[in-house]
Structure 1
Amino acid sequence: MNSDPALAIGDMQRLLHNMIRVGTIHSVDHGGPGKPALVRVSLGELVTDWRPYHEARAGGTTTWNPPTVGEQATVLSPSGDLGAAVVIVGLNSTGKPAPSNDPNKTITKYPDGAVIEYDHAAHALLAMLPGGGTAKLVAPGSVTIDSPQVTMTG
């Protein structure tokens, strides 16, 4: 902070302004062995340094679903210092809307057109692959299909 009161107020305003910012993913570093995945976020004219982003899970259960360039994100810097910020990804926007507005469905859509959808009201699971897609189920023990009716088409 600056010792001049007017400049100190300006510094405090800047830090306060930087505590929570919304921007878009500028670039993604997918990391590697021993190196975390990081993102840079565009905040208007400013582009952050490489910062960590929140993944859905990172404990005993882990997930890998890296953000994409152009995805809207929230930058959180509790101290107001963007150099110490973390990024929360996954904000829907006009350009990247949610795949549904049905509260009964959980849907994941992939860039190639594949869709995994579960409708908990209808108890229905849908896995849809694009043309040329393949599916593989690996089970070192056994596979059981327990249904009163199984339909296979080809």
Structure 2
Amino acid sequence: MMRARTDEDDFDPSGLIQIGTVKSVDLAAARCIVETGDIETPPLRWIEGRMGATRIWSPPSAGEQVLLICMDGELGGGLVLRGIPSDAFAPAGNSAEELIEFADGARIAYDPEAHRLTAQLPGGSTADITADQVTITGNVAIDGDVTVTGKLTAEDDVIGGGKSLKSHKHSAVQPGGGQSGPPV
């Protein structure tokens, strides 16, 4: 708990803001221990991008360089501001592209100059979207197999193997109960 500083206190302003390195992270408690010089802090809270009705959870990493903000110069009441580039964790990019890179190699990026959003996941990954309805406007290219467990509806034509479902013709058409040949 912080206490109010009095005029009689010896006050060293150099203790208000310090650069340090995360030593360890307690995810359940949302606290981390920071080393700055020869000093190790008690478990401290870190600052997130949002923590109201909208919340962001992105805990710091051991070895991440941080800024300690210590009210009244007291390490025990400090807050950890994350995100200082270092040799251990260099910047993830060097262009106008905004991106998030994860420890396993996953990457989400938006390039405002090219108007392109990309999500790249490492091998063995899955991506899930859960919603009552998903709408995609624009052409879609899928490089892989597609499995549908519900009804597939098309308002225009369906083309498979170069054959149109609406306008294909069959060879060897026979009257009655005979079967026609394959589409031509």
Deviation readout 1:63-98 (Å, 9 max, x if unpaired): 110001000000011311111111101111122111
Deviations along 1:48-76, one digit per CA (max 9) or x if unpaired, are 00111101110110011000100000001
Residue 20 of structure 2, aligned match among 18, 23, 34: 23
The equivalent of 2:176 in structure 1 is: none
Note the residue ranges of structure 2 that are not aligned, 5 or more in a row.
145-184
Q: Does residue 113 of the first structure (1) align with residue 114 of the second (2)?
A: no
Q: For the aligned residues, what is the CA RMSD?
A: 1.7
Q: 2:166: which partner in 1? A: none
Q: Which of structure 1's runs of 4+ aligned residues deviate more than 2 A?
A: none
Pairs aligned (count): 138
SS of 1:68's equivalent in the other structure is coil
Given the two structures, how large is their TM-score scaled by the length of structure 1? 0.84
Greater relative CO, 1 or 2 (CA 8 Å, sep 6+) = 1
Which position in structure 2 is the counterpart of 1:44? 37
**Equivalent pair of 2:63/2:88 in contact (CA under 8 Å):** no
Shift of 1:111: 0.5
Partner of 2:133: 142
Once the two structures are superposed, residues 83-127 of structure 1 have per-residue CA deviations (whole angstroms, 9 ceiling, x without a partner) of: 11111011111221111110x211000011000000011110000
Q: Percent identity?
A: 36
Deviations 1:30-56 (A, max 9, x none): 12xxxx411110011111001111011
Of 24, 49, 58 in structure 1, the residue corresponding to residue 51 of structure 2 is 58
TM-score (ref. length: structure 2)? 0.71
